[in-house]
Structure 1
Amino acid sequence: MSQARRSSKSTQRQERRGARVRPDQHVNLLAAVIEEQTNRRKPSRTSKHEGPVKALNDGQRRYDAAMRSSDIVFGNGPAGTGKTWLAVQRAAEALNAGVIDKIYVSRPNVEVERSFGFLTGDLKEKFKPYLVPLEEAFHDAFGQAKYEYLVEAEIIVPVPLAFMRGRTLKKAWVIFDEMQNATDTEFKMALTRIGEGAKFIINGDLRQIDRGIASGMARAMQLLGRLPEVSIVEFGREDIVRHGLIQKIVELYEDQHISSYSASDDKEAREGLERFLDATAPRN
């Protein structure tokens, strides 16, 4: 084969390859490649709940009705009653239906040992551990891949309660979690963030206030309970749906009246530890 003929065929092959990847014909080629590579690294996970989400007991039915009819809903009750989970599912439905544009999630930045300042990363990374209890509910509602996309697109927005000041939240579903640990001042600030088309869901358990917190939740419920736009739903032990053992644990703690904390608890614990260490210390 002559050199000229080989050169001509080589040129034709290059032109055909170029035609297959011309930007004007395949503007999304790079995006498709990135998506394919991402899917290979992390398989997509779909929602666990294909059908409509239904309330499971009387407490959840009252809570569900309140979320559909009121602008502000308080859910007060023990762990395992599905307060946060059901609120996330209804928020997801509102977002998918185009009723709202964003879902905000907030909670007081109350720490047992380590504060925001000691955690690494920017504010979003520091606040992420506080959202772990809600992530499973979001995965159930959207699937893991879509949930992560919505967070990156800032459609699902985590906001520490302390950083709510100055915002007006419009056309949004706002889930305030663990609010028994919010102060009276924080409640006033948070409640006045409500804007047009927004719905506030405020969850907590007044029997599980962390140490050193003067909770403003009870006063907020008392004051706002007079308003027709506000609903208050009380959950009891009988509404626990997460695991049967949780109900037994709650009953044991509450029946023994040891869920309330007093300053003397730490003193008694320290004195008991000192007595134990003294009794077990080696003698010369």
Structure 2
Amino acid sequence: MAKRPARHHPQSKSNSVIALYPTDNSWHPLGEDEDGEAGRDKSYMRKVRPQSEGQKQLMEAIRTHNLSVALGPAGTGKTFLAISAAVEAFDEGKVSRIILSRPAVEAGESLGFLPGDLQDKLAPYLRPLYDALSDRLGGKRLRACIADGTIEVAPIAYMRGRTLNNAFIVIDEAQNCTYGQIKMLLTRLGWHSTMVLTGDPDQTDLLPGLSGLADIANRLRSLPDVAVVDLAESDIVRHPLVASMLTVL
């Protein structure tokens, strides 16, 4: 007797298997836009204005000094203002390249277990810098500048042994650098270059006593050619709740 053909029941949505993680959730600075259109540029900020007195002081310090240190809590615009100044200097022809760096402390020793090459491993930890650049340049131009090398985003370890001439250098999250690392970074400054260090000494991920940012900043305050700007909770430009939480946390 012939077998009765099995009926095909389309799988209902309630019984379907939904992946908890997408099969390809990797993010790359040279990849496509979030809407999948690599050639389409998005809106970006053309002009940045200070939103507080502290931000005004920081913007003036960066404009008039080759080395500036911006200290303050999260949300005060330290990184964004530094990157904005870098983009403006680049657009005006004052520098020929932009170099951004931050420590990948939160990655720890786990980098070796992440898939991909070194750039793929570090991309998630450097993404805050790419996000700020994209806000100022737009995604299409950012990809072009990274591809031709005029914008470089790299971990701290890549700075050793280099002399950075005719460049605008931003060192982000400097509170996660040791005294020796910051000293090494400061000595990378070359001719016709500007460097900005940003960080919050009270928010380090290092073990107690290892962060060198506060010590370095206090030592640099005595130099007339270096600007050290202290931002406060009153300079926070994120949601008002952020400033309120920082008073009790």
TM-score by length of 1: 0.71
Paired residue for 2:17? Answer: none
Look up the match of 1:226: 222
Q: In structure 1, give the amino acid aligned to 2:113.
A: F
- 1:202 is matched with 197
Where do residues 90-109 of structure 1 align in structure 2 (5 Å cutoff)?
Answer: 90-109=85-104
On the 8 A contact 2:54/2:231 being kept in 1, the answer is yes
* 1:22 match: none
* 1:157 alignment partner, one of 152, 155, 158: 152
**Distance in structure 2 (CA, Å) of the matches to 1:61 and 1:41:** 37
Alignment of 1:183 onto 2:197: no
Aligned to 1:74: 69
User: Residues 45-71 of structure 1: CA distance to partner in whole angstroms, max 9, x if unpaired?
Assistant: 234224x21111101000000000111
CA contact (8 A) 1:109 1:162 kept: no
Deviations 1:222-262 (A, max 9, x none): 22222122100101111000211111121121xxxxxxxxx
Deviations 1:145-191, CA, capped at 9 Å, x for gaps: 11111111111111211221110001111110111010011011111
What is the rounded CA distance, in whole Å, between the counterparts of 1:150 and 1:222 in structure 2? 35
Deviates more, 1:71-80 or 1:109-118: 109-118
Letter in 2 for 1:108: P
Matched-pair contact (CA < 8 Å) for 2:169–2:195: yes
The structural deviation recorded for 1:218 is: 1.1
Deviates more, 1:108-117 or 1:98-107: 108-117
* Displacement after TM superposition at 1:92 (Å): 0.7
* Segment of structure 1 superposing worse, 74-83 or 147-156: 147-156
**Mapped partners of 1:154, 1:209: distance in 2:** 31
Counterpart-to-counterpart distance in 1, 2:73 and 2:49: 20
- 2:84 is the counterpart of 1:85: no
Q: Secondary structure at the match of 2:127?
A: helix
- Structure with bigger RCO (C-alpha 8 Å, 6+ apart): 2
Structure having the larger proportion of residues in helix: 1
Q: Tell me how large the CA RMSD over aligned residues is.
A: 1.8
Contact 1:127 1:158 in 2 (8 A): no
1:45 is aligned to 41
8 Å CA contact retained: 1:74, 1:232: yes
Task: Trace 1:118-197 onto structure 2 (pairs within 5 A).
Answer: 118-197=113-192
**Structure 2 contact 126–154 (Cα < 8 Å) conserved:** no
For 1:207, what is the secondary structure of its paired residue? Answer: helix
Partner letter of residue 222 of structure 1? N
Indicate the residue corresponding to 1:258 in structure 2.
none
Measured against aligned partners, the alpha-carbon deviations of 1:110-157 in whole angstroms (never above 9, x if no partner) come to: 026653322232332222112211222211211111111111111111
- What secondary structure does 2:216 align onto? helix
Structure showing greater radius of gyration is 1
What is the CA–CA distance in structure 1 between the aligned matches of 2:111 and 2:94, rounded to whole Å?
34
State the one-letter code of the partner of 2:129. L
AA at the equivalent of 2:234? E
Q: Which runs of 4+ in 1 moved over 6 A?
A: none
Task: Measure how far apart 1:203 and its partner are.
Answer: 0.4
What runs of 5+ residues in structure 1 fail to find an aligned partner? 1-39, 254-284
Which of 151-160 and 231-240 deviates more?
151-160
Aligned length in residues: 214
**8 Å CA contact 1:103, 1:172 repeated in 2:** yes
TM-score (norm 2): 0.81
Q: How many percent of aligned residue pairs carry the same amino acid?
A: 38
Taking the aligned partners of 1:230 and 1:85, their CA distance within structure 2 comes to 20
CA distance in structure 2 between the partners assigned to 1:127 and 1:46 by the alignment:
25
Q: Distance in 2 between matches of 1:176 and 1:209?
A: 15
Separation (CA, whole Å) in 1 of partners of 2:77 and 2:44: 16
Judged with a 3 Å threshold, the aligned counterparts in structure 2 of structure 1 residues 204 and 41 are, in CA distance, closer, same or farther, namely: closer
Partner AA of 2:228 in structure 1: I
Partner AA of 1:246 in structure 2: V
